[in-house]
Chain A
């Protein structure tokens, strides 16, 4: 132990000592998006402090600032009462900060032992260890966590074992502040319990632990205090003994809708256009639902719950889902995604730049990509005039802002790129559209436009499924929302039941029993 913060056996009692870590008025913007607005956070030595909030509440940004990955625009960081500058992860490491990220970043070909001691090797703070010593030390660190052979290459391990190796890596750093970002997402119940025991042991030694999680059971079972963030701001900090899970959920979602959404479907919904029954694959099971003509159906839930996988399973973009699908009351079995497109079902990926558009190609070439026959004459010869005309026609209906349809998509703004991605789908005049996070990373104005466009499409008879991690979007835009949790549909919400609290309750299975909200 460096520093010498005294262990506080009775944590929770106000201390005369300054807090171990104190963040004051931290603000951070990414372009027009304000990720953090005067955020506050305090961590005491020897406590396990839960940090809760919706996706996009600013938790990760705040943690990345503590770890030196991001620099705050303004605000102050104090450790033991001393103001500090954290310019890089290496600087954070020198200050005794350890961060276990949600994403696993091990070197696959390298042994577990070498992965665990990689930070020391990189810093060359220590003399390099020989093979035998390295393996013995690694085995020692791993022992309380799991039975993992430190000589194995890291990519021979399961995801949960890899996650445990990441934790072991942080434990070797002698850190005083340990950040764990949803560490149990990939762990089994048994592994998670072992992790909690280790966390309590570390806390007893005076280490401060920041624990990010969505799971109410973990927050209330393991943590001493909980801080809730929303919209980049600090909402409340309480001892877990003093509040209930419902208080935390309410604090996470309790806000008014602040953007205008288009009016919802009026009158009776149209006939059923798509029916899915008992769809099962590796990442989801027994998924059944029906989509109606003119309806916007939301898929709500946490990131990683399996919503995208369900959409990609239905459209046969990935996996090998079993189950039955009816399109316009006719049972169908799609061979592949191309077959699915030809029947009028299309999917828009959440990763716009990665797989939504062709950045190097022109707007016109992008828009005609799904069905070139629409712009081609005999013998498959493309008619450039028709291709350009199609691009202008669809572009205009989406209010796409571009000087020319020959312009490369890379030169457009995020909102306009998203419109090109949408225009690609509309060119085939689809009957059913799956949209995965359709407004992620687009500015507020373009977002409202995209919402209006989607409602317009629904009104023209298209069935639309929107996957969104933004609760206001689900509630404001969708006629009905299916909540997915751990690969299962846990509920359908519409009308007055369609509230943020209900979605969050159904989304986090741990909260289902304890929060006790009626559905």
Chain B
């Protein structure tokens, strides 16, 4: 009896902190972490931890944008191409003699513009997100290849002050991770607590009910589409600073990884659900699995199979949870 009560109390305490989905993910990540610590001597080392965090910290910025868009009921397949386009635009401008910081801002603005165009086609013309962003994905990739002739742009002259955002450190903490933590914390707060972002949940949960509550739903969808592309621009600029080059073929397949992370973290393709914190945990889990498999010398081909299986398991789990809740609600 006492044991049960304690467990329940613990559960409510944890749930109060994170919510059921986040709690489950944290536990899975911790278990995996412990297993890996024993399984590989190279796992729990400063180098490995740093490499692992660096690997997903920039992509996590895109995950933030995608999660907000998914909550509003949209989806964006163009994130990988748009991220690459940000690198290419900033890179070309820099090579043309523009100050790298200004070049970065222009590149981010270009991405915001692409988001606005996609948002226009979705909300004003009335096309589906999937189709519009699929087209944008192909077009943005084409622009990257066109602008660079298909070859990476070497940006050897990039000043160290700019490269700092990609490879620098504040104390022992890499700047990229600091940026990632700030972006995640800010957007998690905005989404949980501000009126503007609450409208995103209303719109995604039931667009018609939102319209019948006086919410200008088209504006919400337009802005979330634009925000997602803008954050891709931010990520692209940081990647450029890290690599010291602009790669027109960068980010192929990124959209699948990013959507998978958000969905594992509790977002739903039908909208209205999800949190930034959950999505980041999803991204951490995927990244942890990848690097663990690499450390254990598992073939890279297996990694895709395992990541796909995790996605399927998470969504199946969700499906049953929703069904059980619905049955409970009816009773």
Show the binding face of A for B, using Cβ within 8 Å: 317, 336-338, 340-342, 347, 349, 354-361, 365, 369-370, 372-373, 376, 379-382, 384, 408, 410-412, 424
**Chain A residues with CB under 8 A of B212:** 317, 337, 347, 349, 355-356
B202 within 8 A of A: yes
Q: Kindly identify which residue among A337, A358, A380 contacts B209, using a CB–CB cutoff of 8 Å.
A: A358
The answer to whether B325 touches A369 (Cβ under 8 A) is no
The answer to whether A382 touches B272 (Cβ under 8 A) is no
The answer to whether A380 touches B208 (Cβ under 8 A) is no
C-alpha spacing A420/B198, complex, angstroms: 18
**Chain A residues with CB under 8 A of B328:** 411
C-alpha spacing A273/B43, complex, angstroms: 72
- B157-194: contact bitstring with A at CB < 8 Å (1 yes, 0 no)? 00000000000000000000000000000000000011
New A-B pairs, 12, CB < 8 Å, besides A356-B209, A358-B210, A360-B206: A317-B211, A317-B212, A338-B214, A338-B215, A354-B208, A357-B206, A360-B273, A361-B201, A361-B202, A370-B214, A380-B194, A424-B213
Instruction: Tell me the count of chain B residues lying within 8 A, CB to CB, of chain A.
Output: 25
Dominant SS among interface residues on chain B = helix
The answer to whether B195 touches A360 (Cβ under 8 A) is no
B window 202-241: CB within 8 A of A: 202, 205-206, 208-216
C-alpha spacing A319/B89, complex, angstroms: 44
The answer to whether B202 touches A369 (Cβ under 8 A) is yes
- B160 CB to closest chain A CB, in angstroms? 37
Q: Kindly identify which residue among B194, B214, B215 contacts A381, using a CB–CB cutoff of 8 Å.
A: B194
- B266 CB to closest chain A CB, in angstroms? 12
Q: Kindly identify which residue among B194, B198, B329 contacts A365, using a CB–CB cutoff of 8 Å.
A: B198
B196 within 8 A of A: yes
B305 within 8 A of A: no
The answer to whether B198 touches A372 (Cβ under 8 A) is yes
Question: In chain A, what residue has the closest Cβ to B216?
Answer: A338
B125 within 8 A of A: no
Question: In chain A, what residue has the closest Cβ to B205?
Answer: A358
- B261-291: contact bitstring with A at CB < 8 Å (1 yes, 0 no)? 0000000000011000000000000000000
**Chain B residues with CB under 8 A of A340:** 214
**Chain B residues with CB under 8 A of A360:** 205-206, 272-273
C-alpha spacing A384/B201, complex, angstroms: 16
**Chain A residues with CB under 8 A of B206:** 354-355, 357-360
The answer to whether B202 touches A355 (Cβ under 8 A) is no
**Chain A residues with CB under 8 A of B195:** 372-373, 376, 380-382
C-alpha spacing A349/B213, complex, angstroms: 10
**Chain B residues with CB under 8 A of A384:** 193
C-alpha spacing A382/B328, complex, angstroms: 30
C-alpha spacing A518/B195, complex, angstroms: 55
The answer to whether B213 touches A369 (Cβ under 8 A) is yes
